[in-house]
Amino acid sequence: MVVITTPPNTHYDLAKLCLKARKHILVEKPFVSRLEDADHLMRLASDVGRLVCVYQNRRFDSDFLTVQKLVQDGAFGRIHEIDTHFDYYRPESAESWRGQLSTTDGGGALFDLGSHLIDQAYTLFGLPSSVYGRLLNQKRGCLYLMHHDSVHAQLNYADGMIVNIRISDMSVESPQRRFWIRGTKASYKKDGMDPQEAQLESGLLPTSSNFGIERAGSEGRLVIVRKDGTIEELSHPSVRSQNYGALYQGFAEAVWSGNEDMVPVSALQAREVLRIWESVYASAKVDQVVKL
């Protein structure tokens, strides 16, 4: 198996080489930057009998797992609007590929952080019926397709639900908003990020007993409508994260068994996320709603 963790504009060529060498591959998100590249890699993987997994680690965040459980339990009733954020205060442009690659090469906030938020929305609700997007450079104060640091995207679903994707590098806030979900029976707000990334950067190992555990006081707030019609606000602790190693473990089990259905994040799922991404980008170019 080969793990590809290079800049996104190299993913397609490297993945193609690895598959031709008959290797299973785990590719960092975003999978590739064009739908036709995703389709070609999927056909090639099928031809050589190898598996492809995409590293969408944010499916294993504690805040997302909490939202997923609330949705599955029907806690919100009919959901009418979701705000999902990745906001930071980073006034200086990144000197890495994240700040240098153009949007069409896999750079910019939509491809980088947007891949996570779109993937989470797709995991929960599938493909939207239409999208609307705006890409901005907030550091410069302008619309900027090719080198944007901010995303405002709206995913519209057939039942009327709206998922708002919000990404900013110029958000002066602490803690930053992560989720705000509103439904007919409840709403949920969550601030702050899943702790795993910061813990890894600090040197904490995934095998540590406190890895993935949020600090006290960072719980989300769940507001519910009681049977008598009154409103009650509750502290709602997050589900403990499965930790990012679960993705590797899941892919290893898929490889050992040869069962493509066991791949945690399949190439097909990544392709559908890319389809949403391309539609948001197309919308931003013409400033119009784009149907999927």
Q: What is the CATH number of the domain that holds 275?
A: 3.40.50.720
In angstroms, rounded to a whole number, what is the distance separating the alpha carbons of residues 292 and 275? 8
> Please, which pLDDT band fits residue 226 given cuts at 50, 70 and 90?
very high
Based on the fold, state whether residues 225 and 280 are members of the same structural domain: no
Residues 227 and 164 in one domain: yes
CA gyration radius for the chain? 19
Are 241 and 60 contacting, i.e. CB atoms less than 8 angstroms apart? yes
By C-alpha distance, which of 8, 272, 64, 89 is closest to 178? 64
Of the three residues 207, 222, 240, the one that is the final residue of a domain is 240
Please give the pLDDT value at position 192: 95
Buried/exposed code over 188-202 (b: 16+ C-beta within 10 A; e: otherwise): bbbbbbbbbeebeee
Q: Tell me the mean pLDDT in the region 203-211.
A: 89
Q: Do 10 and 39 reside in the same domain of the chain?
A: yes
- Chain Cα centroid distance, residue 4: 18
Assess contact for 19 and 45: CB atoms under 8 A. Answer: yes
Provide the residue type at 21 as one letter: A
Q: Is residue 169 domain-shared with residue 114, that is, in the same domain?
A: yes
CA distance 271 to 15: 14
0.75 cut: is pTM over it?
yes
The number of distinct structural domains making up the chain is 2
For the stretch 240-249, pLDDT in tens is 877 898 999 9
Do 35 and 97 lie in one domain? The reply is: no
- Asked if 258 and 232 sit in the same domain, the reply is no
**Residue 10 lies in domain:** 2-56+246-291
Cis omega (within 30 of 0) on the bond before 30? yes
